[in-house]
Amino acid sequence: MNKDDRGVLLLWVAVLLLFGGAIVYGVVLATAVALKIAAAVISAAALLMGAIVNHSLAMLKEQELERQRQMQQNYVALVGKIGIYLRETKATADELDSIHLLSWIYGTPQVIMATQEFMASRTSTLLRKLLVAMRKDVGLPEPPPEITVENVFGAVEPRGALNKD
């Protein structure tokens, strides 16, 4: 190989190294940019998913609060009818039965069972069991045993609205 051929060969090697270096440099830069773009896309997707989950949880909480509000309204009406019923058995038995139907919609199985038991026997013990089930249903603790149904509704006169235990 003569000097001219070596010179041409060295020139080609230098050109190839320059182009190869440029390609490697371009790939490295493109990879860094691609990583930044991928990170931005992943972040945006995570934010979107977070917003969807947050909205779903808020909707579920809102539905639960509405159900709880409906349940509380039903229980207020039911307790009001029970109080009237204890004083005037014949006058409000139909109203008590209609309010009891709402318990089937909004009440838990414990309240439904306690209501059925009370409707069948109508004793102060079963009334207390019903009231305790309602309290638990709306998130309140069971009252102490010294708080009786008579303390809540007063003495029932004439004594006939509640059967003897």
pLDDT for res 116: 84
Which backbone phi and psi does 123 adopt, to 5 degrees?
-105, 160
Looking at every residue in the chain, the average pLDDT score rounds to 80
Does 83 map to a domain?
yes
pLDDT > 90? residue 53: yes
- Of the pLDDT bands very low, low, confident and very high (cuts 50, 70, 90), residue 92 is low
pLDDT for res 119: 79
pLDDT for res 91: 55
pLDDT > 90? residue 54: yes
Could you read off the pLDDT of 94-119 as tens digits, one per residue?
A: 767 776 777 777 778 898 898 888 87
Q: Which of 108, 49, 43 is nearest to 74 (CA)?
A: 108
pLDDT > 70? residue 12: yes
Does 8 map to a domain?
no
- 141-163 as b/e, with b when 16 or more CB fall inside 10 Å? eeeeeeeebeeebeebeeeebbe
pLDDT > 80? residue 52: yes
Question: Domain count of the chain?
Answer: 1
Does 142 map to a domain?
yes
Does 36 map to a domain?
no
Distances (CA, A) of 95 to 67, 88, 113, 117, 124: 22, 12, 19, 17, 19
Does 80 map to a domain?
yes
- Of the pLDDT bands very low, low, confident and very high (cuts 50, 70, 90), residue 165 is low
Does 158 map to a domain?
no
Range of the domain at 93: 65-153
pTM over 0.95, yes/no: no
Average pLDDT over residues 76-99: 70
Does 132 map to a domain?
yes
Does 6 map to a domain?
no
